[in-house]
Each structure stands twice: as structure tokens, then as C-alpha cells.
Amino acid sequence: MSIESTGHVALTISLISGRSVRIGVSECESIRQLSWHAQRALRVGRGRLLDASGVVLEAATTVQECGLQSGDALTLHVAQVWVASSHSSFAAMLGDGSVACWGNVRYGGDSRRVQDRLRNVQQVQATRFAFAAILADGSVVTWGNARYGGDSSSVQEELKNVQQIQASESAFAAILADGSVVAWGDVLNGGDSGQMRDKLKNVHCVQATESAFAAILADGSVVTWGDDDSGGDSAAVQSQLKNVCQVQATKYAFAAILADGPVVTWGDVIYGGDSSGVRDELKNVQNVQATESAFAAVLADGSVVTWGDGASGGHSSPVQDRLKSVQQVQATRFAFAAILADSSVVTWGDVRYGGDCKRVLDRLKDVQHIQATESAFAAILADGSVVTWGDDDSGRDSGFVQNKLRSVCQVQATKFAFAAILADGSVVTWGDVRHGADSKSTLEEEPAETSPMGGPSAYQDMPPPMFLPLTEAMCRKRAHSSHYSTGAVRGSERPTAGSSASATNSSSSSSLHIQDIRIKKRRRRSYRDDAAESYHAAEPMNPNRMRSPFGDSEDQWVPPVNDDLSA
């Protein structure tokens, strides 16, 4: 009896590398299920199946509907996994264009309400509380806290042909194909750009502080909106904002690099909004990086100029003689790490936030890239391994996953957790389990359809399935008083204008004015935190939502009835 007469077909599925597997499936089985079998057999992450002509097969169609016959050859195209992060959740853009979320549900860790719409995702961006995904057709899907960007229904009709999205702490700003901008979310943090609509034309890119946005136009000028004290008011320097190439931001201040190399700053002076003290040094600036309250500018000769709060990295004098041939700078909340031309690393700033790497200095060789949580750094080396330092609670302790950190291509971070994407598309996480780190759960869950053949292949002994390690975020409220990197600052850690010898010549603004700004910002943060608690209280915790939607072989995550993740 031929296999076709039993209603089954035998297909050869190959990777671009040439590695292939022969799989037998039922004609009524979906392409999604076929793809899942191929992923397990080939030991790769999610991808798209293409026929011999290079046409992508729709996941929801069946083998029969696609006209596939025994002997046909398909290609499984597996793209790199990309990860975005909010305060305490991750969103992974998978190879098949879908999105998988895990972490604290208060911060966008549950995308089930929009899962059926998360197809052909091109980009994912995050505020503190929510995520926004751009689809291939230019539309946008949002989820998370509705008040802080998770609900875009009020502007959904305008969100067409979206090219790029930027985020403040609790608002999004989308650039459309015609160069206009659509904003939504918390109006206190830039969620309403209506007053600037006439000026927001031919927008090239957008940058954000915690509470304001700055848009660079095609002519090199800049338009700002949002909280005035956080950079939303650039009137004082507007005449200088010409031929702007790049804008960077601390928590409450902006720094713009002009085409001829100088830098223009505005916003809260305590947070780096005044660079007059180093103005003569800021020449031929190539790029700028920022901690919460200090800036670091890399010049054309590879040297670095810093300003802002000294204790937060604004004072680099102790390491200035080593800051030569700098290629890249990364930052935690209060510390910087610079990669030099010889691939070594120099750090400065608050030692509690990664400002001292002496313990791992002998291992920091051939460093290619650095990522950061609030108070820890993770460096990817040339051999694909990872070295971490900083605060244990924020991801410094990677010892229990070190044996898995091989062939790492990318690292992403929430406030207190890291996620490393490996060359095979798998993800390894570590750090605080309440903020997106737990290695118990897995990336790949079997689609809801069951294989009529009881397994992925009838023609060969298949290798055991590979489960890709991800996180099982338990969604419990953090026991200690740490906050989001753009949220409240503990009194003992809050940077002040006189906390150390800063490179910045601080403004002579009265202490009364500064105190008024701080009080207003504390009130605004209190309002946001209270609203977030109300949101959480109004939506009781479902035990099913305490686990990652990727399942676990020992404790499988089960969605509620009529809420199908595999659709």
C-alpha cells in the first residue's frame, strides 16, 4: 500500500545550510504543525516554510490545500530571534514572524489577547508597561497596560504605514511613511503630540527621555513635546538645533550631536541638561551614550568627554588616561563601560552599578558587544561566550547558565534580567525570576493539532526534541524597594547636583526651583505607580498567567478555555 493511499505524504525539508530531514505527515495536517515537526527534527527555532518556488506557505493552511505531494522539497527559513524588553518582561520576535512573551504580566508579559494578530512582525518596541509591534503591512498591535501605551485604539485608524516606533517611559511615538508622527499613551509622558502636529513633518527619527520626545526632521531641525522639565521644551536652544544628526537622552535631558561635531543639550541640568562646562572639549563628537543622569561623548580620536552627575558616570577623570581608541560605550543606571579598539573594557561610575570590573578584567578580552540591566553588564566575547559583572540581583551572577552561554549572538535586558539569543535561535535567561529570568520553561510548544502519525517522521529515527531554555516569570511583586531605571530613585542613591566633582558646570538655578521640579516628578511617579497598582488589582491573577506561554515538560502551561495560543 502506497503512503499516498493512507492520506499521508513524505516531504523533504531543508535548511539554507543544506541540512535536511524527511518527514511524513497527514494531508489534513496544518503547515504550522509541519513546521513544528521540522524545527524539532532539525534542532532549530521557529521559521517559515517555503515551497520550491520560494513562496511562503501560510501556517493556517493544510498540506492538502497547499497541493503538496510525496517527494516535494520545502525549505525552512529560520531568521534570527530578536528580543525587546519592558521593565520586567521580554517579547521575542521569532523566526516565523510571531511574538512570544514572558515575564511580569503587569509589564506586558501576557500577549494572549492579541496573539492571533501577532503575525509577520517586523519590529517590537516597549515602554515601561507595554509593547508595540509593527507588522509587515505597516499596522501596529499593542498590549500591556492600556493607560501606558498598551491600548492604541484611539489612534488605530492613523497607525498605517508605520516605519518606526520610539517609546518614553509610558508613551509611544510612531513615524509613518509620509514622515508624520502619531503618539499615544500617557499624555504626561509625551502620549499626545497634537500641539506639534503641524511641525512634525518629514520626521527622520525620534528619541525619548522618560517623559518627553525629540524628533529630528529631514532638514536637521528638532521638534520636542512632552514634559517641559524633562526635555519637552527646547525653546532655549532652538536656534542652535540645526543640522542635527543624532539625539541621545538621560532620564530628563537630551543631547543633540550636530553635523559639524558640537553638542547641544537641554532639559534638567541635574540630569546632564547643561554641557557648558565641557563645551570646548565637545568637538568632532561621533556618538553619545547616557546613564540615568550623565552623558558620555565619544570623539573622533577615540577619547571620551563626560558631563552630568559625577557619581553616575559624569566624572571620568580616574580612568581618563585609559579612555583611548574607544569604539563603543554602554551604560547601566549609574555607570558606563567602554569597549576599546583592542577589545578590552574600561568602566567608571557607581561601583554598585557595574562601575568596577576588576573581578573579571582578566576575562574581558576580545569583547564584541556589551548589554546592561539597571546595575549589571553582560559582555559578549568573540568566541560567543558571555562575561558578567555588577550587582548580583540584576544579572551579574550568570554562573548557573554559563555552560549554556555558547555561540551567543545577542543579549537583551529588562531591569533585573538578561536574555541571550544563541546562534541556533535558542534563548538563555538569568537574573531575577520576577523580572523575566527563569530557565525552567521552553521556547517551543507543540501546536494544538496532534499528529495523526503520532510523531514527526515515519521514515527515520528522529533525534530527541530540543527544548530551548527561556523563562518562567512568577509575577510576584519585588520584595525589596528597587525601582525601574526610569522610575523612582531610592533616596540614598538619587544623584544630586553636588554628589561629586562633575565635569558639568551646573546651572545657577535656585535650589527652590530644583526642589519644585523634584516634587513634581515624585508626584508624577506616584500617580503612575498608583495607577499601575490599580490596573493590577482590577485584573485578578490567573494561575495560568504565572508561567511562560512556552510550556515546560514538567509543568505545561495551559491556556484558558477558548483562548488558543496556537491559532
Please tell me whether the overall predicted TM-score, pTM, comes out greater than 0.95 for this model.
no
Distance between CA atoms of 102 and 88, rounded to whole angstroms? Answer: 9
Residue 474 has pLDDT above 80, yes or no: no
Q: Which three cell numbers stand for residue 74?
A: 520545502
Instruction: Specify the pairing of strand 427-431 against strand 222-226.
Output: unpaired
At 101, the amino acid letter reads C
Boundaries of domain holding 46: 4-78+460-472
Q: Does any domain span residue 74?
A: yes
523's grid cell: 508626584
Helix (H, G, I), strand (E, B) or coil at 52: coil
Q: Is residue 466 part of a domain?
A: yes
Give me the residues paired with residue 267 across strands.
253
- Amino acid letter, 565: L
Instruction: Flag whether pLDDT at 532 surpasses 70.
Output: no
Q: Is the dihedral of CA 276, 279, 281, 284 positive or negative?
A: positive
Q: What is the mean pLDDT of residues 44-63?
A: 82
pLDDT tens by residue, 462-471: 333 333 333 3
pLDDT digits (tens, 9 = 90+) for 309-363: 999 999 999 999 999 999 999 999 999 999 999 999 999 999 999 999 999 999 9
Pairing relationship of beta strands 73-77 and 82-85 according to DSSP bridges: unpaired
Contacts of 516 (CB under 8 A, 6+ apart): none
Taking Cα atoms as reference points, which of 328, 362, 334 lies closest to residue 348?
334
68 domain residue, yes or no: yes
Residue 39 lies in a domain: yes
Q: Let me know if residue 59 belongs to a domain.
A: yes
CA dist 208 and 534 (Å) reads: 26
For residue 55, give the nearest of 33, 70, 30, 75 by alpha carbon: 75
Domain assignment present for 500: no
Phi/psi for 25 (5° steps) reads -140, 165
Residue 391, pLDDT above cutoff 80: yes
- Mean pLDDT score across all residues of the chain: 79
CA 397, CA 433: separation in Å to the nearest integer?
A: 13
Question: Looking at the domain assignment, is residue 370 inside a domain?
Answer: no
Quote the pLDDT of residue 359: 94
- Beta-bridge partners for 412: 419
Residue with cell 508595540: 132
In angstroms, what CA-CA distances link 537 with 520, 523, 532? 26, 21, 9
The CATH number assigned to the domain holding 22 equals 3.10.20.90
- The whole-number average pLDDT for the span 110-133 is 93
User: Which residues are CB-neighbours of 493 under 8 A, at least 6 positions away?
Assistant: 334, 350
Q: What confidence score (pLDDT) does residue 5 get?
A: 54
Per the structure, the count of domains in the chain is: 1
3-state secondary structure of 452: coil
Answer yes or no: is 56 within a domain.
yes
Select from 147, 141, 140 the least CA-distant residue to 106.
147
What is the C-alpha separation between 403 and 264, in angstroms, rounded?
46
